[in-house]
Chain A
Amino acid sequence: MSTAALPDLAHSQAAESPWAVETHGLTKRFGDNVAVNGVELLVPRGCAFGYLGPNGAGKTTLIRVLLGLTHADAGTMSLLGYPVPKHRDVALARVGAIVDEPRFHGHLTGRQNLQVLAAAREPAARDRIGPSLERVGLSHRADDKVSKYSMGMRQRLGVAACLIGDPQLLVLDEPMNGLDPAGMQDMRDMIVSLKAEGRTVVLSSHLLDEVERTCDAVAIVDRGNVIRQGPIAELLAGSSVVLQVECSEPDRARALLGATRIGAHVEVGSLGLGITLPAGTEREITAEIARLLVAGGISLYRLQEMQTSLESWFLQVTSRLGGPD
Chain B
Amino acid sequence: MIATRFMELRKRRGLMIALIVVNIGIPTIFLAVRLLAHAFAPKTYGPAGGYNIYTGLSSGVLYIFGFIVAATLGCTAGSVDLTEGMFRHLVVTGRSRLALYLARIPAGLSIIVSLVAVGFTIVCAVCVFAAPTQLNYDGVNVPAGLSRTGLESWAADHADSVICNFNINGPGPSNIGCGPNGTPVTGNGSGAPGQPTPVQLRTAAILIANQDYLDYSHQFLYPSNSLMVKTGLWIELEAAVGFLVGLGLGSLLGQRTVAVILMIVLEIVLTPLFSRARITHLLNVQRSIVGVAVAHLAPGGIPVLGGGGGGPGGGQGNPALIPESTTWSVCVIVAWLVIWTALGAWRMMTRDA
Contacts and interface: CB of A to CB of B under 8 A. Distances in A.
Contacts of B170: none
Interface in A120-154: 120-121
Contacts of B90: 116-117, 120
B94 interface: yes
Given A88-B94, A92-B93, A105-B8, A119 B3 contact: yes
B1 A120 contact: yes
Contact of A105 (B1, B80, B353): B80
Interface stretch (A65-73, A230-238, A248-256): A65-73
Contacts of B93: 92-93, 117, 120-121, 165
A97 B92 contact: yes
Interface in B23-44: none
Nearest to B85: A103
Interface residues of B, number: 25
Given A70-B352, A70-B353, A112-B7, A89 B95 contact: yes
**Contact-residue bracket for chain A:** 35 or more
Contact of B7 (A89, A91, A115): A115
A161 interface: yes
A99 interface: yes
A142 B330 CA distance: 48
Contacts of B96: 1, 89
Contacts of A313: none
A119 B94 contact: no
Given A103-B85, A103-B86, A120-B90, A64 B95 contact: no
B12 interface: yes
Contacts of B1: 119-120
B13 A119 contact: no
Q: Which 9 A-B pairs have the closest CB atoms?
A: A103-B85, A92-B94, A69-B353, A120-B95, A119-B4, A120-B93, A93-B94, A70-B352, A119-B1
Interface of A: 1, 64, 67-70, 88-93, 95-97, 99, 101-108, 112-113, 115-121, 161, 165
23 contacts: A67-B91, A68-B91, A69-B88, A69-B91, A69-B352, A69-B353, A88-B94, A89-B94, A89-B95, A92-B91, A99-B92, A104-B84, A104-B85, A104-B86, A105-B86, A106-B84, A112-B7, A116-B4, A116-B8, A116-B90, A119-B3, A120-B90, A121-B93
